[in-house]
Amino acid sequence: NLCFSVNLVILVLLAVAFLIIVQRNLLSLSDILHKENPAELSQNLHPDSGPRSGDEILVLITATEDRLGATMTAINSIYSNTKANVVFTIVTLNHTVQHLNAWLGESKLKSIKHRIVIFDPELLKGKISQDSNSVEASKPLAFARFYLPLYFPEAEKAIYLDDDVIVQGDIQELFETNLKPGQAAAFSDDCDSTSAKGIIRGAGNQNNYMGFLDFRKESIKKLGLRANTCSFNPGVFIANLTEWKNQNITGQLQHWMELNTHEDLYSKTLGDSVITPPLLIVFYKRHGAIDPMWHIRHLGAGNRYSFQFVKAAKLLHWNGHYKPWGRGAAFTDLWDLWYIQDPSGKFHPIRRHEDKE
């Protein structure tokens, strides 16, 4: 009898062990399945993919023909990770509209609320270099963020995002970033965040005003800015559009753009930065801050973070040379999760396994 019950106990233990092993295998199998089919994963987040209601979360993003895949991936990541009523305003150039519409017509993107707006290059006339080879002239859409109230004439609040980001958190959280009276926008400072440590080691004076503005110029001197003030990254921001209009932010930005074409006010340390300097001047000591986990950046400048850290971040930004759809970027697996193939076949992320073929 004793022998029998000992046997029974062993049998039960074996059965339990067996079940644990089976369950583990199933779990890792489902991991593999999700990895192989990330689109399925994103659908699972929204079994009820009906129309969304509630307060609109307004997001502005630009769409450039040669990196349209970036915009689509950013949009898909945002939409898939929230249940909020997010509405995208996609600013693009006329010749990209058709391509954009074809891509947005893909089944996995069809239910995304969006509005396509064509950027008017006339806005920049006399405010950027006349040379058609200049950085400014080649990237007109980068200036769209200066004209935010133009794209949301009725709204109180909006988010601007660069196209080389993905969002892993719920965009509603970012939207709820608190802005104090007098603050027209909130940015991520380059000194006090987790992101900052990398920059200081990296490229010289990138984390302060000196890296962006030429302090030898009279117009800059007259402002009385402290050259060692922390700069901020304008690739992600939340704006109070009422404040923006009250403070005539767009007018002020245009004034500095125009002055720069005559006086060459921006520092050349950072090569091609034409967007950050006027924003630094206009928002000097009068902007809010974004939760650091909502703007983990410099992913395009080498692999500085652990995978666990990057996985836990709410928003990833591949600013820097290495873009996640190109060669040599870090953490492309996370970007690939949200990429949806271009139905026209024009856009192709470069991946190592393809290089070998």
Residues that bind ligand NAG (CB under 6 A): 94, 156-157, 179, 181, 240, 242-243, 248, 251-252, 255
Nearest CB to ligand NAG, comparing residues 134 and 252:
252
Give the span between the Cα atoms of 124 and 257, in whole angstroms.
Answer: 9
Give the span between the Cα atoms of 349 and 326, in whole angstroms.
Answer: 6
CB of 184 to ligand NAG, least distance (A): 8
Nearest to 168 by CA among 290, 54, 293, 46: 293
CB of 243 to ligand NAG, least distance (A): 4
Nearest CB to ligand NAG, comparing residues 96 and 231:
96
CB distance 77 to 58 below 8 Å: no
Nearest CB to ligand NAG, comparing residues 291 and 336:
291
Nearest CB to ligand NAG, comparing residues 153 and 181:
181
How much of the chain is in helix, strand and coil states, percent to nearest 5?
Answer: 45, 15, 40
Give the span between the Cα atoms of 19 and 27, in whole angstroms.
Answer: 12
CB of 325 to ligand NAG, least distance (A): 25
CB of 238 to ligand NAG, least distance (A): 9
Which residues are within 8 A (CB) of 11 and not within 5 positions of it... i.e. 6 or more apart?
none
> DSSP letter at 65?
G
CB of 279 to ligand NAG, least distance (A): 15
Query: Hunting for tokens 């850290």 — which residue is that?
Result: 309
CB of 148 to ligand NAG, least distance (A): 13
CB of 150 to ligand NAG, least distance (A): 14
Nearest CB to ligand NAG, comparing residues 214 and 243:
243
Nearest CB to ligand NAG, comparing residues 31 and 55:
55
Helix, coil or strand: residue 261: helix
Q: Please, what is the Cα angle at 87 between 82 and 88, to 5 degrees?
A: 105
Q: Please, what is the Cα angle at 165 between 159 and 166, to 5 degrees?
A: 95
CB of 123 to ligand NAG, least distance (A): 14
Nearest CB to ligand NAG, comparing residues 290 and 334:
290
CB of 42 to ligand NAG, least distance (A): 30
Give the span between the Cα atoms of 38 and 345, in whole angstroms.
Answer: 20
Give the span between the Cα atoms of 275 and 256, in whole angstroms.
Answer: 11
Nearest CB to ligand NAG, comparing residues 25 and 242:
242
Tell me the residue nearest to ligand NAG as measured from the CB.
251
CB distance 86 to 348 below 8 Å: no
Burial class (CB in 10 A: 0-12, 13-18, 19+), 251: exposed
End-to-end Cα spacing for the chain: 67
Nearest CB to ligand NAG, comparing residues 163 and 243:
243
Residue 180 phi, psi dihedral angles, 5° rounding? -80, 160
Tokens of 41: 């994963």
Give the span between the Cα atoms of 203 and 279, in whole angstroms.
Answer: 21
**Strands 232-240 and 185-189, bridge-based pairing:** antiparallel
